[in-house]
Amino acid sequence: MSAAVNPWRLSVAPMLDWTDRHCRYFHRLITRHTRLYTEMVTTGALLHGDQQRHLDFNAEEHPVALQLGGSEPADLAACAKLAERWGYDEVNLNCGCPSERVQRGAFGACLMHEPALVADGVKAMRDAVSIPVTVKHRIGVDKTESYAFVRDFVGTLADAGCDVFIVHARNAWLQGLSPKENREIPPLRYEFAAQLKRDFPALTIVLNGGLQTADEIEAQLALVDGVMVGREAYHNPWRMADWDRRFFGCTTPTAASREAVEEAMVAYMAREAARAQVPWSHIARHMLGLRHGLLAARRWRRVWSDHHLKAEPAARVLALAHARATAVAPDSARFRL
């Protein structure tokens, strides 16, 4: 990769219950240079909970960022120090999650109503660490649909020293919509992110929300500095197989084939079982979209998700999945040992 390539050019979004360290290891087998983010971790969980469980990651995951949920500047600074000490490449503040649980903690998207408080948190983190401090946010909250709202929010945080903004280009509805509906119902306004880049040319502006194909990504990269992809990367991960070549200037793909990725994951499952007694099924769930769009993908997926096979070693399940995927049988036929 060229040293001149913006490190936020492509990234996979933080997704609660999905982008754990096993998922990130899987994604790294497919794309070497795409930036990866943890699930959101609250400051309270880090300061008063099991730090190793929340912060442990595989060395292969770099570049990897820790996303924090919180609002108290002192707590954010303390957690940013933990992130740096643990070896993360970035700490990201969540100002975009609309869930009721997050609202009860007075952070997430509701923080967009308190830009001065967010700025204090950003400054406290920047004073505490040398790694980049970034912010992920929405373009508005509830019925506030004026571009001036997000422009002023970004401007306030930029004055506090933040220079990387990940813009989920939808409003967040704090009442009346579920988190899932908040990802689908509020309209996407990509033009807001492009306008932010025009108004703040010195900042790094990353667009998030709804993008799927490489052509869509390329079109937006003409207008902003980077693109973050969420659920499409999780459900259809092989889309990322060409990203290193197309967007980072690599001459060869990171992954030779889907089969090579699957075999590498089985080796990883065996290591995790020996190291920490992690069942292979906890890891395999993240790769169920690997064969998305291929013939017999459903049969292959059913083997890897069959709870009757949990006692089998992962290598045995791999062989069964391949046998089932290549068998001449309808997709509706149930696999049995």
Instruction: Say if residue 197's pLDDT is above 90.
Output: yes
Mean pLDDT score, 262-270: 98
**Residue 337 — pLDDT band, cuts 50, 70, 90?**
very low
179 has a pLDDT exceeding 80: no
**pLDDT category of residue 15 using cuts at 50, 70 and 90:** very high
Residue 332: per-residue pLDDT: 47
For residue 298, the tally of other CB atoms under 10 A from its CB is: 14
Mean pLDDT of 303-316: 95
Q: What is the pLDDT of residue 105?
A: 61
The CATH class of 258-326 is mainly alpha
Q: Does CATH place domain 10-248 in 3.40.50.2300?
A: no
Q: Where are the domains of the chain?
A: 10-248, 258-326
- Report the half-sphere exposure of 104 (CA within 13 A, side-chain side): 3
The pLDDT value given to residue 333? 45
Q: What confidence tens digit (pLDDT) does each residue in 93-113 have?
A: 999 988 766 656 677 889 999
- Judge whether residue 69 has pLDDT over 80: yes
| Dihedral angle, C-alpha 12, 14, 19, 20, nearest 10 ° | 130
Q: How far apart are CA 304 and CA 325, in angstroms?
A: 11
Distance CA 155, CA 297 (A): 47
Looking at residues 292-304, what average pLDDT do you find? Answer: 95
Q: Is the pLDDT of residue 335 over 80?
A: no
Predicted local distance difference test score (pLDDT) of residue 328: 55
Q: How confident is the model at residue 4 (pLDDT cuts 50, 70, 90)?
A: confident
The Cα angle at residue 8 between residues 209 and 257, in degrees rounded to 5: 80
Q: Is a pLDDT exceeding 70 seen at residue 329?
A: no
145 or 317, which is more confident? 317
| E strand or H helix at 205 | strand 204-208
d(CA 151, CA 195) in angstroms, rounded, equals 9
Instruction: Report the alpha-carbon distance of residue 251 to residue 142 in Å, rounded.
Output: 45
The Cα–Cα gap between 63 and 88 comes to 8
Q: What is the chain's length?
A: 337
The whole model's pTM is what? 0.93
Q: How far apart are the first and last CA of the chain?
A: 45
pLDDT one-digit tens code per residue, 200-236: 999 999 999 999 999 999 999 999 999 999 999 999 9
Active site residue 23: no
pLDDT averaged over every residue in the chain: 93
Average pLDDT over residues 81-96: 98
Q: Which of 23, 79, 95, 97 is catalytic?
A: 97
- Which candidate, 287, 300, 296, places its Cα nearest to that of 235? 287
Per-residue model confidence (pLDDT) at position 223: 98
pLDDT of residue 271 exceeding 60, the answer is yes
Distance CA 130, CA 84 (A): 8
What count of other Cβ atoms lies within 10 Å of the Cβ of residue 330? 9
